[in-house]
Amino acid sequence: MPMVAEVLPGCLRVSLFLFFVRLGDSLFSMNTTVGISTVVPIGICSLLYILITFLPIHNRRTRIHFPVLSGFCSRFSVSGNTGIRDPTEN
């Protein structure tokens, strides 16, 4: 049961993304101007969301933390050398 609780938010995010893809496709096929004016903001917001979601993988000291990525980071131990020096370390 805990595994289902961990997977469910990811499934909801994927279904929302697929909904917006289909919405943009439908509007684009009906009217090109409306489709473009809808697809561009959806694309920009999607790219920002993806950037914010995967930012903690690159820099583990960031203040933004998503529970979806905690399992990914711990399983694949992505906390290697990121090229960013910690000013508190000598």
Tens digit of pLDDT for each residue in 29-79? Answer: 999 999 999 999 999 999 998 888 777 676 666 665 555 555 555 555 444
Return the higher-pLDDT residue of 75 and 23: 23
Whether the predicted pLDDT of 22 surpasses 90:
yes
> What ranges do the domains of the chain cover?
2-69
CB 32 within 8 Å of CB 44:
no
Global pTM reads: 0.59
pLDDT score for 33: 94
Could you give the CA distance from residue 16 to residue 13 in angstroms, rounded to a whole number? 5
Burial class for 56, CB neighbours closer than 10 Å (0-12, 13-18, 19+): buried
